[in-house]
Structure 1
Amino acid sequence: MNIASTLLLALAMSTDAFAAAVGKGAALHRPRLREALKTGVIFGVIEAITPLVGWGLGRAAAPYVMSWDHWLAFGLLTILGLRMIRSGFTAPEVTEEKPDSHSFWVLALTGLATSIDAMAVGAGLAFIDVDIVSTAATIGFATMIMVTIGFMVGKMLGVMVGRRAEIGGGLILIGIGSVILAEHLGYMS
């Protein structure tokens, strides 16, 4: 996987976390930079760990699926992309009361929920030639930046922008899966 694919993957993986962060920022009475940075770090660390876990699970299964691994990567990325697109079209929850901050556990659980797809992507990456540590670090760093920004602008932009970002991220995942499949089938060199 080249650097452009890695950066696009990191961007795609961070969009659902960005959407959640916009919602978290919009849900607060007044989002503060300190809260945004805390949220960014929590989401980024979780988003960096989950592809490593998925990659380890995928490597354990690799000898059993070597002849159709490209189809597996394509399928996983397409399913995750479609899930993100569907989620982007889902109406956001409306809450009446706005707190001043979110607890660590609420943020960690939200970060974990938005990173399950990164675990599946990590499993798919186990079947191709990729430096998983640098890829996971790139995903985590991109998520930290996107979440921090999303959290701070959540109040101004509202939930709708976050939903559009999630749709774009889903389309990127489907595109990456298609490129992996085309490369393995010999359509791209």
Structure 2
Amino acid sequence: MNPIALLLLTLAMSTDAFAAAISKGAGGALRMGLIFGSIEAATPLVGWLLGKSASTYVEAWDHWIAFALLVALGLHMLYEGLKPSAEEVSKPSRQSFLKVSLTAIGTSMDAMAVGIGLAFINVNI
């Protein structure tokens, strides 16, 4: 058999595997996008609701709360930076809905803070 014909036959036979791999990857990306997008859209509203309910209690102590949070964050960063680390390399695997959701919430904290800030300056969301 001609080598070029053999190469074309091999390529033609592997296109279904390629298409399956692309669709599998796209499905995972779509799932991740939906989870991250939904949580990113909801966190400013959640932050605004939390801010509205807590604003009367927090206004007198807001500067001390911010100070305590920043000190705690700084101390934690120093601790994490100075402790010896033993990193393990793990192979990628399909993430559970809970892990993806928690990651999305972690990356959306800034949006929640914006919602809280809007509640404190009495913006009607």
Q: What TM-score comes out, normalization by structure 2 length?
A: 0.49
TM-score where L is the length of structure 1? 0.35
Structure number with greater Rg is: 2
